[in-house]
Amino acid sequence: SELMLGDYIRKGYFDGMSIRLPTICVRPGKANGAASSFFSGIIRVPLSRKEAILPVSDTVRHWHASPRSAAGFLRHAATLDLDRLGGHRALNMPGVSCTVAEQIEALRDVAGESAVSLIRPEPNETIMKIVAGWPRNFSPERAIKLGFAADPDFASIVRTYIEEDMP
C-alpha cells in the first residue's frame, strides 16, 4: 500500500503520506487473535486481577506506543505541511522500544508485585516464531524532527491505560 500511495502522490492524483505505527499497547477490551495481543494482555489482564499468559521469552524486544500517542500521531500528520517531507512520504513513528521484562518491570513500578505475580510464562512455539521475525529497531528521527512525540517510557504507557481505558 505504501508503494501505491507513493505512485499516486508522484502522479499527482492526491497529496498524502503514510505513517508506520508501533504496536499499540495497552489496547482496551478483550484480546483478539493477533500474535501481538499478549503485549497488551500481560498488562491489561493482571490489572483486572486475572492471570495473563506470557507466550514468549521476557527478552523479546518490541516497539510500542499508547493509544493516546497513536491518536496524537494521526492528528499531527493531518496538520503537517507535506512539503517538509520531500519525496519520502513514509515515516516511522517514534515509540518505546523495550523488552517484555522491561514491560513487566514498568507494570511492577505502577501497579505493584500483586499485578506482576499474575503473569504466567507459557511458551508458545507458534507465537515465538512469528514474533522472532518482526523488526525490533526503527529509525524515527525524521518523525521526531517533524514534531511527532511518543510516550517517554513504558510506565507512562501503563499509566495512560489506567487513566483512560481501564474499566
First-residue to last-residue Cα distance in the chain: 36
Exposure of 2 by Cβ count < 10 A (0-12 exposed, 13-18 middle, 19+ buried)?
A: exposed
Mean pLDDT of the chain: 95
Q: Is the pLDDT of residue 92 over 90?
A: yes
Q: What is the pLDDT of residues 5-27, one digit of tens each?
A: 888 888 989 889 999 999 999 99
Full residue range of the structural domain in which residue 80 is found:
2-164
What's the pLDDT score for residue 2?
A: 83
CA-wise closest residue to 26 among 4, 10, 59, 48: 48
Task: Please give the average per-residue pLDDT across 94-103, as a whole number.
Answer: 98
d(CA 18, CA 93): 10
User: Under a CB-based contact definition with an 8 Å cutoff, are residues 131 and 57 in contact?
Assistant: no
Q: Is the pLDDT of residue 143 over 90?
A: yes
* pLDDT band at residue 88 under the 50/70/90 scheme: confident
CATH of the domain at 122: 3.90.25.10
Q: What is the pLDDT of residues 153-165, one digit of tens each?
A: 999 999 999 999 9
What's the pLDDT score for residue 100?
A: 99
How many structural domains does the chain have?
1
What's the pLDDT score for residue 3?
A: 85
Q: Is the pLDDT of residue 72 over 90?
A: yes
Task: Please give the average per-residue pLDDT across 39-44, as a whole number.
Answer: 98
Per the listing, cell 502522490 goes with 9
Neighbours of 72 (CB within 10 A): 17
User: Under a CB-based contact definition with an 8 Å cutoff, are residues 46 and 52 in contact?
Assistant: yes
